[in-house]
Amino acid sequence: MVERETWATRLGFILAAIGSAVGLGNIWRFPFQTASSGGSAFLAVYLLAVVVIGIPTILAEFVIGRRSHLDAINAFRRLGRPKWWFVGAIGVVGSFWTLSYYSVVGGWVIRYVVGSLNGNALTAPGDYFGAVSAGPEAVAFHAAFMLVTVVIVAFGIERGIELATKFMVPSIVVLLLGLAVFAATLPGSGQGYEFLLAFDASAIADNAAQVIPAAVGQALFSLSLGFSVMITYASYIGKDDNLVTDGLTIAVANTFVGVLAGLVVLPLLATQTGDPGSGGPGAVFVAIPTALANLPAGRAIGVVFFLVVLIAALSSSISLLEAVTSYIVDRGYSRMPTAAGLGGIVFLLGVPSAWDTAWLGWFDGISVSLFLPIAVLLVVLFVGWVMGRDAADELRQGMSTEGIAPVWLWALRTFVLVAVVGVVALNLYDLFTV
Ligand code: PHE
Ligand code: NA
pLDDT exceeds cutoff 80 at 243: yes
| Higher-scoring residue by pLDDT: 204, 215 | 215
Write the burial class of residue 195 (CB in 10 Å: 0-12 exposed, 13-18 middle, 19+ buried). Answer: buried
pLDDT value at position 28? 79
Computed over every residue of the chain, the mean pLDDT equals 90
Question: Which ligand number lies closest to the CA of residue 258?
Answer: 2
Are 312 and 27 in contact by the 8 Å Cβ rule? The answer is yes
Closest atom of ligand 1 to 313 CA is: 12
Residues 358-376 pLDDT 10s: 999 899 989 988 899 999 9
Ligand 1: does its nearest atom lie under 6 Å from the Cβ of 37? no
Residue 32: pLDDT band with limits 50, 70, 90:
low
pLDDT value at position 295? 87
Residues 103-115 pLDDT 10s: 999 999 999 999 9
Residue 395: pLDDT band with limits 50, 70, 90:
very high
Burial 180-192 (b: 16+ CB within 10 A, else e): bebbeebeebebb
Instruction: Tally DSSP H helices, then E strands, for the chain.
Output: 25, 0
pLDDT value at position 104? 97
Judged by average pLDDT, the poorest of 264-268, 379-383, 404-408 is 264-268
Question: Which ligand number lies closest to the CA of residue 229?
Answer: 1
Ligand 1: does its nearest atom lie under 6 Å from the Cβ of 28? no
pLDDT value at position 29? 78
Calculate how far, in angstroms, residue 430's C-alpha sits from the geometric centre of ligand 1. Answer: 22
Residues 117-144 pLDDT 10s: 999 999 988 899 999 999 999 999 999 9
pLDDT exceeds cutoff 70 at 388: yes
Which residue CA neighbors atom 11 of ligand 1 most closely?
224
Calculate how far, in angstroms, residue 111's C-alpha sits from the geometric centre of ligand 1. Answer: 21
Backbone angles phi, psi at 95, to 5 degrees: -60, -50
pLDDT value at position 266? 83
ipTM confidence score:
0.98
CA 355 to chain centre: 23
Calculate how far, in angstroms, residue 253's C-alpha sits from the geometric centre of ligand 2. Answer: 9
pLDDT exceeds cutoff 90 at 270: no
* DSSP letter (8 states) at residue 188: T
pLDDT value at position 33? 74
pLDDT exceeds cutoff 60 at 148: yes
Ligand 1: does its nearest atom lie under 6 Å from the Cβ of 254? no
pLDDT exceeds cutoff 60 at 13: yes
Which residue CA neighbors atom 7 of ligand 1 most closely?
224
| Higher-scoring residue by pLDDT: 296, 433 | 296
pLDDT value at position 42? 83
Ligand 1: does its nearest atom lie under 6 Å from the Cβ of 23? yes
pLDDT value at position 434? 60
Judged by average pLDDT, the poorest of 199-208, 329-338, 392-401 is 199-208
Domains of the chain, with CATH numbers? 10-433 (1.10.4160.10)
The DSSP bridge partners found for residue 199 are: 39
pLDDT exceeds cutoff 90 at 254: yes
232, amino acid identity: T
pLDDT value at position 43? 84
Judged by average pLDDT, the poorest of 28-32, 128-132, 252-256, 280-284 is 280-284
Are 399 and 242 in contact by the 8 Å Cβ rule? The answer is yes
pLDDT value at position 10? 93
Calculate how far, in angstroms, residue 14's C-alpha sits from the geometric centre of ligand 2. Answer: 14
Closest atom of ligand 1 to 229 CA is: 11
Question: Which ligand number lies closest to the CA of residue 99?
Answer: 1
Most confident of 25-34, 77-86, 370-379: 370-379
pLDDT value at position 275? 52
Ligand 1: does its nearest atom lie under 6 Å from the Cβ of 21? yes
pLDDT value at position 194? 80
pLDDT value at position 280? 60
Closest atom of ligand 1 to 30 CA is: 4
Query: How many angstroms separate the CA atoms of 116 and 113, rounded?
Result: 5
Handedness of CA 61, 64, 66, 70 (dihedral sign): negative
Residue 85: pLDDT band with limits 50, 70, 90:
very high
Question: Which ligand number lies closest to the CA of residue 97?
Answer: 1
The mean pLDDT value for 250-277 works out to: 82
